[in-house]
C-alpha cells in the first residue's frame, strides 16, 4: 500500500509528466505483456516504469539471458526501481527521447520489445514524436512497441510511425480504463 501512496504523492507533484494518479493495475500489466515471448527476448525496454508495477511482471517472466532496461526521469521512482536490485535490470535516469544514445552506451543495437507507460498525449509533440521515431529505430524487425493510453487520441500518431501494423485492445479493470496499442515494426 505504501507504494500506492508514494505514487499518489509523486503524481500530485508531477501530474504533467506522470499523466495519472494511480499505478497500472495487475490486469493492465498482464494484458500488456501477454503476447511477449519471454523465452526468445534478449532485450526489453520499458519507458516510464514509475514505481515498477509492470516492471515486476516483466522481471518475473524474464529469461535468464535477457535484460530489462528502464528509462525513468522521476528521481523518486528511479530510486525505487534501483532498490529492486535485480541482476538483469538496468535502470537509467534518462529521457525516453534519448533511447538511441543510451542503448548505444550499453552496446545494444536493437531490442525485441518496448513497453511504454509514457503519457504521450500530454508530452509536447516534438518530444513525443522523437520518442516514437527513436523507439521504432531501436526495435528489431518484427519487434513490438506496446503502449497504453487512456483515450484513442494517440492512434493517428502511432499509425504515422508504425503504419498499418497496429492492433488495439481495451482493459476495463484499470483506473482509469486503458487502451493498449501493439505496434509491430515491419519495414
Residue 165 lies in a domain: yes
DSSP E strand stretches across 13-150: 43-47, 67-71, 89-92, 111-116, 139-149
- Predicted pLDDT of residue 19: 47
Question: What domain range is 48 assigned to?
Answer: 25-184
Average model confidence (pLDDT) for the chain? Answer: 89
Convert the pLDDT of each residue in 106-138 to its tens digit. 999 999 999 999 999 889 999 999 999 999 999
Residue 70 belongs to a domain: yes
CATH number at residue 66: 3.40.50.150
- Please classify residue 30 by burial: count the beta carbons closer than 10 Å to its beta carbon, then call 0-12 exposed, 13-18 middle and 19+ buried: middle
pLDDT category at 101 given cuts 50, 70, 90 is very high
Strands in the chain per DSSP E: 43-47, 67-71, 89-92, 111-116, 139-149, 166-171, 178-184
The model's pLDDT over 69-92, given as tens digits with 9 standing for 90+, comes to: 999 999 999 999 999 999 999 999
pLDDT of residue 164 exceeding 60, the answer is: yes
Handedness of CA 119, 68, 28, 37 (dihedral sign): positive
Find out whether 113 and 140 touch, Cβ atoms under 8 Å. Answer: no
- Which of residues 6 and 33 earns the better pLDDT score? 33
Residue 7, pLDDT > 50, answer no
- Is the per-residue pLDDT at 11 higher than 50? no
User: pLDDT at position 170, please?
Assistant: 96
Structure-block grid coordinates of residue 67: 535484460
* Interval 21-80: pLDDT, tens: 467 889 999 999 999 999 999 999 999 999 899 999 999 999 999 999 999 999 999 999
In a domain, 30, yes or no: yes
Q: Report the C-alpha gap between 144 and 162 in whole angstroms.
A: 10
Q: Is residue 3 domain-resident?
A: no
Number of domains in the chain: 1
Amino acid at each position: 500500500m505504501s507504494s500506492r501512496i508514494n505514487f499518489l504523492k509523486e503524481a500530485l507533484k508531477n501530474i504533467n509528466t506522470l499523466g495519472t494518479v494511480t499505478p497500472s493495475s495487475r490486469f493492465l500489466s498482464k494484458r500488456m505483456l501477454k503476447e511477449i515471448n519471454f523465452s526468445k527476448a534478449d532485450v526489453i525496454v520499458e519507458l516510464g516504469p514509475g514505481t515498477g508495477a509492470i516492471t515486476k511482471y516483466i522481471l518475473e517472466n524474464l529469461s535468464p539471458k535477457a535484460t530489462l532496461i528502464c528509462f525513468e526521469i522521476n528521481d523518486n521512482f528511479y530510486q525505487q526501481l534501483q532498490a529492486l536490485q535485480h541482476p538483469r535490470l538496468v535502470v537509467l535516469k534518462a529521457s525516453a527521447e534519448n533511447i538511441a544514445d543510451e542503448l548505444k552506451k550499453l552496446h545494444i543495437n536493437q531490442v525485441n520489445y518496448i513497453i511504454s507507460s509514457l503519457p504521450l498525449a500530454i508530452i509536447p509533440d516534438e518530444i513525443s514524436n522523437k520518442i516514437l521515431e527513436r523507439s521504432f529505430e531501436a526495435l528489431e524487425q518484427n519487434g513490438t512497441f506496446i503502449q497504453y493510453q487512456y483515450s484513442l487520441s494517440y492512434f493517428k500518431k502511432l499509425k504515422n510511425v508504425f503504419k498499418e501494423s497496429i492492433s488495439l485492445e481495451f482493459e476495463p479493470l484499470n483506473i482509469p480504463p486503458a487502451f493498449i496499442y501493439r505496434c509491430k515494426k515491419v519495414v
